[in-house]
Amino acid sequence: MKVNSNDTNLASQFISNGSEVKVNKPANGKEQLNSEMERLAKDIYYKDQPKEPEPTYNKSMNIITNNVVSTREAEEKALNNIRIATVNLYMPGGEVSNSVEKMFTQYDNIMTEIAAGQPSLANKDWGISISQLGELEVTGSISDKEKSLISEKLNGNGDFVAAANEFKSSFLGHIDLGVRGWSSYDVNEDNFSKIFDLKEILDNSQGEESFKQAWNKDFSWLELNDNISFQLRRKAIKN
């Protein structure tokens, strides 16, 4: 199913005064990415934060309140973790985008094999989930025989299965470090398979013509982010 771009906004929802920050789709392609990332960095981490005064005493100091120790080093480490999570969740070259792109490169071949064995499956309503054991499972209103055929093709492709598991582990690992955005949803090991349909993600990660010309590839991290957001809004509970 193709998600209407009017109904789905890119879910790169970051830290910015309690409101959502959107990543605009680059009209001019690669040359706009650097400026976009610079803008995000300013919006996410520094916007409206008061300028720190010049230190008058530069020795490290611990502040203890209710038995909680806060140090400048701890705060900087936490902020750096948020930066890392932000890049790996939302940006091109991040772990989430890279893992789905690996699946995307295998997906057409798998679908061709499935269609060769059962042509009618192309137009039927079915999906792909990943179990807690890391196996790919077929969902939807199709027969057990059809599910068995698809499952055999999916799990028989080692690269596809490995990439699916990378997507799951990277997503779960980084939303725990992030704040707001996707991190505001309750997604965990137990409910991951109920929230994300990998087939829907892959069917909606195809770049538009302008994107293909700018990035010289079919896979679009922008469309990927839109669909992840869309599935979270439909199926996940906010924390």
pLDDT digits (tens, 9 = 90+) for 65-88: 455 556 888 888 888 989 999 999
What's the pLDDT score for residue 65?
A: 46
**Is-contact 7 228, C-beta < 8 A?**
no
What's the pLDDT score for residue 102?
A: 97
More confident residue, 58 or 181: 181
- Note the helical H segments in the chain: 33-41, 72-90, 95-117, 144-155, 158-175, 192-195, 198-203, 209-215, 221-235
pLDDT at 36 over 80: no
Buried b (16+ CB within 10 A) or exposed e, 119-131: eebeeeebbbbbe
Least confident of 18-22, 92-96, 131-135, 142-146: 18-22
What share of the chain has pLDDT > 70, as a percent? 71
pLDDT in tens, 196-236: 999 999 999 999 999 999 999 999 999 999 999 999 999 99
What's the pLDDT score for residue 78?
A: 83
pLDDT at 91 over 90: yes
pLDDT confidence bin for 130, thresholds 50/70/90:
very high
Parallel, antiparallel, or unpaired: how do β-strands 63-65 and 68-70 relate? antiparallel
Tokens of 31: 């040359």
Least confident of 47-61, 107-121, 157-171: 47-61
pLDDT at 44 over 70: no
What's the pLDDT score for residue 208?
A: 92
Ramachandran sector of residue 86 (left: φ over 0; alpha: ψ -120 to 50; beta: rest): alpha
